[in-house]
């Protein structure tokens, strides 16, 4: 038979002793309950934040564990409040930390001081978080009733008609799903045809000008057309003005005496062919350089 590591002495009486721990005069928690008569239980406690010891002034980091004396000190409504009394491992000083159920945190009450590491939104470019003032007076019941009445009126006047319109619209589109699907597929085919034609035009344009195939061309719009036409007209006008300026300059130079260039004169004099003489004179006459009466 398997043993259960329980030995009952011959003089053990269950009705008298109740349990083996009571028979041997020991507590079930052993040495941890050596101060149980004072309401103190020895537990393993881990520091929830960084502190400085008040006796040796040494820094004790968050997460350091101690054999703390846990004791109930009161209640916050139905939530018990506990204190944890620990002995500093760097000196002989004691410090005490208590629970604060109202603010859901731990508070150092004696023997040490907590390192302030709370994150402040205002110091980091954020917005301050303002909690509800516990000292504020009770809410006005008439104001609360008025607010609830306004909310009910808003529901009746705005939300209900909106839901009814959505429901009627859903019923309208849900009566004949075949016709709606047919219209949607027809519209999709038309849009696909237009998109395909645009893609073919873009591919042809890329092939003509040697553009990369991965280049995405922007969609043509009325504004882009008007802007392109405006730029084209401006360039056309500028080209026309440049040509007109060149023509006026040639005409002005032709009107001055002795403008007859050395190149043309040497060409006419050096050539013995009458046809070349005639061609040179004709070219000069086109620019208004000379009069035929001089030859």
DSSP per position, 158-172: IIHHHHHHHHHHHHH
How distant is the alpha carbon of residue 46 from its chain centre?
A: 37
Mean pLDDT of 236-241: 91
pLDDT of residue 137 exceeding 70, the answer is no
Query: Which residues on adjacent β-strands are paired with residue 75?
Result: 80
- pLDDT band at residue 136, thresholds of 50, 70 and 90? low
pLDDT of residue 269 exceeding 70, the answer is no
The answer to whether residues 209 and 203 touch, using CB atoms and an 8 Å cutoff, is no
Residues above pLDDT 90, as percent of the chain: 37
Domain boundary assignment for the chain:
14-115, 243-294
pLDDT at position 67: 95
Q: Which residues contact 109 (CB under 8 A, 6 or more apart)?
A: 83, 96, 97, 98
How many helices and strands (H and E) does the chain possess?
A: 8, 8
pLDDT at position 263: 47
Tokens representing 41 are 């239980």
Looking at every residue in the chain, the average pLDDT score rounds to: 81
Distance from the first to the final alpha carbon of the chain: 149
Mean pLDDT of 62-87: 95
The answer to whether residues 100 and 106 touch, using CB atoms and an 8 Å cutoff, is yes
Query: Which residues on adjacent β-strands are paired with residue 200?
Result: none
Mean pLDDT of 218-241: 86
Taking only the tens place, the pLDDT of each residue in 152-188 is 899 999 999 999 999 998 888 888 888 889 999 999 9
pLDDT of residue 8 exceeding 50, the answer is yes
Taking only the tens place, the pLDDT of each residue in 44-59 is 999 999 999 999 999 9
The answer to whether residues 109 and 74 touch, using CB atoms and an 8 Å cutoff, is no
Query: Which residues on adjacent β-strands are paired with residue 96?
Result: 85, 110
Residue 127 CB-density burial (10 A; 0-12 exposed, 13-18 middle, 19+ buried): exposed
How distant is the alpha carbon of residue 276 from its chain centre?
A: 82
pLDDT at position 114: 93
pLDDT at position 3: 55
pLDDT at position 262: 45
Q: Highest mean pLDDT: which of 78-87, 116-125, 145-154, 261-270?
A: 78-87
Least confident of 40-54, 89-103, 251-265: 251-265
- pLDDT band at residue 70, thresholds of 50, 70 and 90? very high
More confident residue, 175 or 234: 234
* Secondary structure of residue 86 in the 3-state scheme: strand
Tokens representing 245 are 């300026």
């Amino acid at each position: 038979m398997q043993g259960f590591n329980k030995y009952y002495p011959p003089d053990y009486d269950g009705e008298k002793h109740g349990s083996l721990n009571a028979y041997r005069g020991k507590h079930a928690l052993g040495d941890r309950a050596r101060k149980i008569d004072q309401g103190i239980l020895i537990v393993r406690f881990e520091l929830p934040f960084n502190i400085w010891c008040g006796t040796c002034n040494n820094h004790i980091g968050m997460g350091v564990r101690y054999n703390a004396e846990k004791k109930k000190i009161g209640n916050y409504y139905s939530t018990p409040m506990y204190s944890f009394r620990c002995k500093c491992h760097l000196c002989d000083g004691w410090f005490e930390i208590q629970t604060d159920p109202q603010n859901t945190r731990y508070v150092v009450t004696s023997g040490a001081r907590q390192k302030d590491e709370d994150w402040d939104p205002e110091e980091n470019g954020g917005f301050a978080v303002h909690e509800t003032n516990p000292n504020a007076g009770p809410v006005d019941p008439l104001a609360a009733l008025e607010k609830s009445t306004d909310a009910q009126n808003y529901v009746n006047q705005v939300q209900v008609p909106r839901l009814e319109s959505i429901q009627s619209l859903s019923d309208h589109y849900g009566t004949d799903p075949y016709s709606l699907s047919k219209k949607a597929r027809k519209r999709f085919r038309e849009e696909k045809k237009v998109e395909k034609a645009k893609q073919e035009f873009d591919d042809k344009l890329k092939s003509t000008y040697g553009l990369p195939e991965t280049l995405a061309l922007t969609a043509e719009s009325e504004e882009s057309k008007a802007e392109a036409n405006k730029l084209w007209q401006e360039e056309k006008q500028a080209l026309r003005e440049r040509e007109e300026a060149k023509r006026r300059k040639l005409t002005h130079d032709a009107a001055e005496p002795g403008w007859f260039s050395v190149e043309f004169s040497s060409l006419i004099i050096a050539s013995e062919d009458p046809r070349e003489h005639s061609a040179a004179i004709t070219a000069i006459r086109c620019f208004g350089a000379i009069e035929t009466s001089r030859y």
